[in-house]
Chain A
Amino acid sequence: MKNLLHFITSACLCLWVGFNSTDEIKHSLQIIHKGISLTKPVICTLVEVTNDNALPHEFYMDVESVVCGDNQCKIDVVRIYWDELGRFNKLVLPKDVHLEKAEGISFTDKDYNKLNDILKNEDSPLQDVFKDEIVGTVGGEGVDAMSGETILLEKSAYVKGAVWTCYSLWHWVHGDIKQHIKDITGKSYSKQDLRLLLKQKDYQAFAIEQLTKKEGYSKQTAHVILNAIETDPSLLKSSLPYWENAPKSIYAFGSEELLSMLKPTNRMLFLTSILQTQQELSPDFFNQLTPLVSEFTYQEIDIFLNILKEKQMVTNNIIQSLVPLLKAENFIISRRAYYFLEGIDLSKENERKTSNFFEKWKDRL
């Protein structure tokens, strides 16, 4: 039944009337709904449905089917269901309620299917639209007036004649509520539950986020997170707050591991987090990092050299890897290396190399 819209089927009617309150927990929340106001939250009640283990299993909320932009809508109360991670499951209508399009025409099956597709689409064009952008407006000189004729969205984004319904429901489904659901679920799960979820696709970012909130720091947890990042490097970004706030030993371990599996696409992100972190990094870490300079772009070299300066981490070993950059093909890279080397104590040999560089390029420094 998941991920299907349910309409006036007996099953869903049972749901509608048949909840027993023992496995339901009510949460009162303040939500921003783009169609209502960008600044004033709406107070609403989110209901958590728990499973036999008393863990959240799904959530639902009763909402008005439409925040009407042109005073021409029929408003019903409908129920939206999400799974435990805030992903849309289904929409349920009370008995005898039919969604309506313009001029009171009921939704057809095709319309319901289209609405289901629209609500499932996290990236719908509806997401960036403000309610004033939906229909063309014509302004008078005094107070601006609305005229509700032209709809400015691509056709796939709404059911014809029911643009306000689609807009309102999409923003209920994909608004602030998702984070609230994740946090409620995260709170009910133990660290061990979350570690297990780190192995399940689709749950990983959620698990990392909630482990950070729960301060779930252990070598074991760090391992599982690193494994997850290795298979999906895009998880690095969501893991950064985890490392940033970790105890020293976990950070030291994590940063070396992350470096060993670092992909070029993640380098800037990683280097930036190193520059900004208050955490301590070992000389070993830098010995491991330095050989990468030959592959670095200018920007990466720049930030790397800033890191060395900031963390006062200049060893002979590092200097040795930097000197060849004076001969880099890209002049601005060699100049950047020169500026760095020029300011530190160097061996005779390296001093000679930097002076040669200066002699050759002094007009461009």
Chain B
Amino acid sequence: MTRRNMKRRKFFKKSVKGTLGASMIPLSGFSNPAEKTRTDYNSINTETPFGNTDPKQWHQMGSGKKPRPDRRKTVTYDVAVIGGGAAGMCAAISAARNGSKVVLIQDRPILGGNSSSEIRVHLNGVNHLRNGLPERETGIIEEILLHNRFHNPQDSYPVWDHVLYDFITKEENLDLKLNTTAIRAILSDDGTIKAAYCWQLTTETEFTIEANMFIDCSGDGLLGATAGALYRTGREASSEFNEKYAPNEADGWQMGSTVLLGSKDMGKPMPFEPPHFTLKYDAEKSHKERQLKPFELGFWWVELGSDEDIIGEFEDNKHKLLGYAYGVWDYMKNSGKFPETENYALDWVSSLPGKRESRRFIGDYILSEPDLIGNKQFDDAVAFGGWSLDEHNPGGIENLSEPPSYFHEDFEEPYQIPFRSLYSKNVPNLLFAGRNISQTHIALSSSRIMATCALEGQAVGTAAALCVKKKILPRTLGENHINDLQEQLIRDDAFIPNRPANDNTDLLKSAALIFGSSTSSGDAKLLKDGWSRDYHDKKHHWQSDGLPAHVQVEWEDRVSISKLEIKCDTNVKRNLMLRRDSLENDIYTTKIPKEMLQSLDIEARINGKWVNIKSIDKNKTRLIKFNFDTIETTAIRINLKSTYGAQHAKLFEVRCYS
């Protein structure tokens, strides 16, 4: 601490007590090593001009007489999640909601990973399949994106950071540790991870985080790597997995990191003088797909990868990337070819390049190109993807003549991601989600997209909680209890393509009748068919004819119920992630989906009388959960009162549990 800062600190302490005075003079002396031997501390102590500060403390720490406070803590959880990007947040939330005590360790001061205000990548998912339409992700990631629509209608990235902070910190059973880096794994004799050794930058605290299950969602995967988990980097040879888009021979190439930037129309001509580290952009030599327009939001292809140690080279590459980013901007402003940039000035340039690729852990299964293209159906499918095979060129911005990405192929329908790609082959209690999962370089070129990572996150978070409950390891869960995992995921509104729910504990299955007060599309019977979206051109919904409307369920016998769960419509054929351009068109919206239910209540018929059980006035989620004291009933009625704009209410599912 500098002398000046110490003075400031003193000032604040004193002013709280309301006593300000000469005390600041001797105190400043303590921090001066030259003076400290000449000072009689005991006499100073008796003068007590220091308010509530003990001057000895400062001296003794400085002189080594009193040790630096020992800030070492060991804390124990059921599940530890490393990395607070899309994957890690969803893993932590799902593990906590499924009953585990969870800690989320994030090395940055904010959440969101590549989508955070530090990097500002759009949180894309299956934005469009070959038919041009999205097949949007539901579950926790959708809940987060909806939360953002309610709390951040202005589309601000710094506010997004706190939307995420709000979402994560309001979850019970979940502790968040920001500015905390998981540095290495501490292993047990049996090869499982016993603890993660972490460093919290802001508090100088060493945390030893013990847990039963570890989930590495950090992208780079340092924890897993130090635990000795097998991993790969680089590109596979095409022969290894029969991948037509892979090179003939394996090599070390990893897709690069990018520095994004943003500019603003200042309403008057704005000169631009490039900083000294600028690297000139050679537009003449560049492939035409290096598009310079629109220019306002930067250029995703300002990218530097590596053939070797992409993690170790990060800081050097970052320096170059800043140079390249400013170089492209210099070209826009000063080449004379873009008069439309005249009034524009940079108003944000990222200082933290966003990463695309580094370690890929090895699981019991390695997901590869033929699985994606052939839409392989996995018995242990737990997530899905559908972004195109978007493999960026080897060399990045240092290979100008090639297109910045090869959009090898896009998908007709979403592909499945198996659970076996989400846990380590050799470290028994290590799961992972995000860009570091068990997959080839080509599979990563599609699956790295953040909402896809988020679905994997929800899958492993749920899996970890089930492992804790059942006292088993992930492999055993996959082999013997995969049905439980899939059912829980679907119940929590994750979608697994071609895997309808079949939950025998759902009491709606035993109902004698379910009907809607009016119907304009679909059929109330479909609310229990196990599908929570229309799929493959087949309807799985019931839609009212106008509002208000109700759905009623009748049982022949009395049932005991304490939970009712509804899945309403949020239009999964429209994307709702935060975007820097606030795009509003047929497949992107910045609004709360008009289809979503806004207000509703539920009633139960108890002893022949309808009794109101619960009401919601401002619903904010697709999965609407009602929990209440157990009731004995023969019928329930869901009264749908309003949506956020749609004329009719559409539901996909109703479930009841005792």
Choose among B128, B131, B300 the residue with the greatest number of A CB atoms under 10 Å from its CB.
Answer: B131
Indicate if the CB atoms of B587 and A132 lie closer than 8 Å: yes
B387 on the interface (CB 8 Å rule)?
A: yes
Indicate if the CB atoms of B515 and A299 lie closer than 8 Å: yes
* Bound-complex Cα distance A150 to B411 (A): 12
Indicate if the CB atoms of A38 and B586 lie closer than 8 Å: yes
Which A residues from 132 to 187 make CB contacts under 8 A with B? 132-145, 147, 150, 152
Indicate if the CB atoms of A343 and B512 lie closer than 8 Å: no
A363 on the interface (CB 8 Å rule)?
A: yes
Indicate if the CB atoms of B300 and A140 lie closer than 8 Å: yes
Indicate if the CB atoms of A139 and B131 lie closer than 8 Å: no
> Distance (Å) between the CB of B388 and the closest chain A CB?
5
* Bound-complex Cα distance A132 to B512 (A): 43
> Distance (Å) between the CB of B72 and the closest chain A CB?
42
B159 on the interface (CB 8 Å rule)?
A: no
A272 on the interface (CB 8 Å rule)?
A: yes
Indicate if the CB atoms of B517 and A363 lie closer than 8 Å: no
Cβ-Cβ contact count across A and B, 8 Å cutoff: 91
Which A residues from 100 to 137 make CB contacts under 8 A with B? 130-137
Indicate if the CB atoms of B130 and A139 lie closer than 8 Å: no
- Residue on B nearest A303 in the bound complex, by CB: B517
Q: Which of B131, B294, B512, B552 is in CB contact (< 8 Å) with A136?
A: B131
Indicate if the CB atoms of A132 and B608 lie closer than 8 Å: no
Indicate if the CB atoms of B387 and A335 lie closer than 8 Å: no
Q: Which of B291, B388, B513, B517 is in CB contact (< 8 Å) with A272?
A: B517
- Residue on A nearest B122 in the bound complex, by CB: A141
Which A residues from 172 to 223 make CB contacts under 8 A with B? none
Indicate if the CB atoms of B608 and A342 lie closer than 8 Å: yes
> Distance (Å) between the CB of B517 and the closest chain A CB?
7
> Distance (Å) between the CB of A295 and the closest chain B CB?
17
Given contacts A144-B127, A298-B554, A272 and B518 within 8 Å (CB-CB): yes
Indicate if the CB atoms of A363 and B558 lie closer than 8 Å: yes
Indicate if the CB atoms of A343 and B556 lie closer than 8 Å: no
Indicate if the CB atoms of A138 and B607 lie closer than 8 Å: no
Indicate if the CB atoms of B128 and A142 lie closer than 8 Å: no
Indicate if the CB atoms of B556 and A139 lie closer than 8 Å: no
Contacts of B605 in A (CB 8 A): 339
A332 on the interface (CB 8 Å rule)?
A: yes
Q: Is the interface on chain A under 10, 10 to 19, 20 to 34, or 35 or more residues?
A: 35 or more
Given contacts A130-B586, A139-B388, A143-B581, A365 and B607 within 8 Å (CB-CB): yes
Indicate if the CB atoms of B132 and A137 lie closer than 8 Å: yes
- Number of B interface residues at 8 Å Cβ cutoff, please give it: 39
* Bound-complex Cα distance A298 to B410 (A): 49
- Residue on A nearest B298 in the bound complex, by CB: A142
Interface 0/1 of B602-622, CB less than 8 Å to A: 000101100000000000000
B150 on the interface (CB 8 Å rule)?
A: no
Indicate if the CB atoms of B387 and A140 lie closer than 8 Å: no
* Bound-complex Cα distance A137 to B128 (A): 7
Interface of B is mostly: loop
B634 on the interface (CB 8 Å rule)?
A: yes
> Distance (Å) between the CB of B471 and the closest chain A CB?
40
Indicate if the CB atoms of B608 and A364 lie closer than 8 Å: no
Indicate if the CB atoms of B634 and A364 lie closer than 8 Å: yes
Contacts of A139 in B (CB 8 A): 124, 127-128, 387-388, 390
B557 on the interface (CB 8 Å rule)?
A: yes
Which A residues from 298 to 317 make CB contacts under 8 A with B? 298-299, 302-303
Indicate if the CB atoms of A142 and B607 lie closer than 8 Å: no
> Distance (Å) between the CB of A205 and the closest chain B CB?
17
Which B residues from 504 to 531 make CB contacts under 8 A with A? 512-513, 515, 517-518
- Residue on A nearest B408 in the bound complex, by CB: A138
Indicate if the CB atoms of B405 and A140 lie closer than 8 Å: yes
> Distance (Å) between the CB of A180 and the closest chain B CB?
20
> Distance (Å) between the CB of B37 and the closest chain A CB?
61
B121 on the interface (CB 8 Å rule)?
A: yes
B338 on the interface (CB 8 Å rule)?
A: no
Indicate if the CB atoms of A152 and B124 lie closer than 8 Å: no
Given contacts A332-B513, A364-B634, A132 and B586 within 8 Å (CB-CB): yes
* Bound-complex Cα distance A145 to B586 (A): 15
Interface 0/1 of B580-607, CB less than 8 Å to A: 0100011100000000000000000101
> Distance (Å) between the CB of A15 and the closest chain B CB?
36
B24 on the interface (CB 8 Å rule)?
A: no
Choose among B512, B517, B587 the residue with the greatest number of A CB atoms under 10 Å from its CB.
Answer: B517
Choose among A38, A138, A268, A342 the residue with the greatest number of B CB atoms under 10 Å from its CB.
Answer: A138
Contacts of B366 in A (CB 8 A): none
Contacts of A16 in B (CB 8 A): none
Interface 0/1 of A313-342, CB less than 8 Å to B: 000000000000000000110010011001
Given contacts A150-B130, A332-B512, A363-B558, A138 and B634 within 8 Å (CB-CB): no
- Residue on B nearest A269 in the bound complex, by CB: B518
Indicate if the CB atoms of A133 and B298 lie closer than 8 Å: no
Given contacts A144-B127, A299-B515, A365-B634, A132 and B133 within 8 Å (CB-CB): yes
Contacts of A338 in B (CB 8 A): 608
B297 on the interface (CB 8 Å rule)?
A: yes
Contacts of B130 in A (CB 8 A): 136, 150, 152
* Bound-complex Cα distance A141 to B291 (A): 12
Contacts of B41 in A (CB 8 A): none
Indicate if the CB atoms of B586 and A138 lie closer than 8 Å: no
* Bound-complex Cα distance A330 to B121 (A): 59
Indicate if the CB atoms of B608 and A141 lie closer than 8 Å: no
Indicate if the CB atoms of A302 and B132 lie closer than 8 Å: no
Choose among B132, B405, B517 the residue with the greatest number of A CB atoms under 10 Å from its CB.
Answer: B132
Indicate if the CB atoms of B608 and A365 lie closer than 8 Å: yes
* Bound-complex Cα distance A137 to B390 (A): 13
Indicate if the CB atoms of B300 and A142 lie closer than 8 Å: yes
B199 on the interface (CB 8 Å rule)?
A: no
Chain B contact residues, CB within 8 Å of chain A: 121-122, 124, 127-128, 130-133, 291, 294, 297-300, 387-388, 390, 405, 407, 410, 512-513, 515, 517-518, 552, 554, 556-558, 581, 585-587, 605, 607-608, 634
Which 9 pairs across A and B sit closest by C-beta, in order of nearness?
A: A339-B608, A133-B132, A142-B300, A141-B300, A132-B132, A138-B407, A130-B586, A136-B130, A299-B515
What are 26 A-B interface contacts by the 8 Å CB criterion? A38-B585, A130-B587, A131-B586, A132-B133, A136-B131, A136-B410, A137-B128, A137-B410, A138-B388, A138-B410, A139-B124, A140-B405, A143-B294, A143-B581, A144-B127, A152-B130, A152-B132, A268-B518, A298-B513, A298-B554, A332-B554, A338-B608, A339-B608, A342-B608, A343-B608, A365-B608
Chain A contact residues, CB within 8 Å of chain B: 38, 130-145, 147, 150, 152, 268, 272, 298-299, 302-303, 331-332, 335, 338-339, 342-343, 363-365
